[in-house]
Amino acid sequence: QGLKPIVSTESPALIFGTTPKLASDLPATDSFLGKNKVPDLQKLFQKADGLPVHLKRGVPDKLLYRTTMALTIGGTIYCLVALYMASQPRNQ
C-alpha cells in the first residue's frame, strides 16, 4: 500500500455508514438532537489529499499532534535525566 493512503476500496455508496438503514432515515426523529453530518465527514475524510488519518482534518489535528509529540519527547528526555539523577548514590 505504501505511505500514500489509499482511498477505501468501496465507493461511498457501499460504505456501511451510508447503507439504507441509516438512523437518519427515520422520519419523525430527524431533528432530535442535531442533524446527520456523517455523509459530509465521510467526504472530507476520503479526500485524496495524501494526508494520513491522524492529520486529515488539517490545522486542529496538526496542533494536537505537535503538542502530544512535544510532551512525550520532551518528557522522555526529562525522564531519562531524572532517572539518571535518582540513580546517583546520595552522599551521607
C-alpha cell at 19: 447503507
Say whether residue 62 binds another protein (CB under 8 A): no
Helical spans, DSSP H, in the chain = 38-45, 59-86
SS3 (DSSP) at 1: coil
- Cα-Cα-Cα-Cα dihedral of 80, 85, 86, 88, to 10°? 130
Say whether residue 49 binds another protein (CB under 8 A): no
Q: Which of 54, 58, 62, 63 binds another protein (CB under 8 A)?
A: 54
9-28 binders of another protein (CB under 8 A): 9-10, 12, 14-17, 19, 21-26
C-alpha cell at 4: 500514500
Q: Which residues of the shown chain bind another protein in the complex (CB under 8 A)?
A: 1, 3, 5-10, 12, 14-17, 19, 21-26, 29, 32-34, 36-38, 41-42, 44-46, 48, 52-54, 56, 64-65, 67-69, 71-73, 75-76, 78-79, 82-83, 86
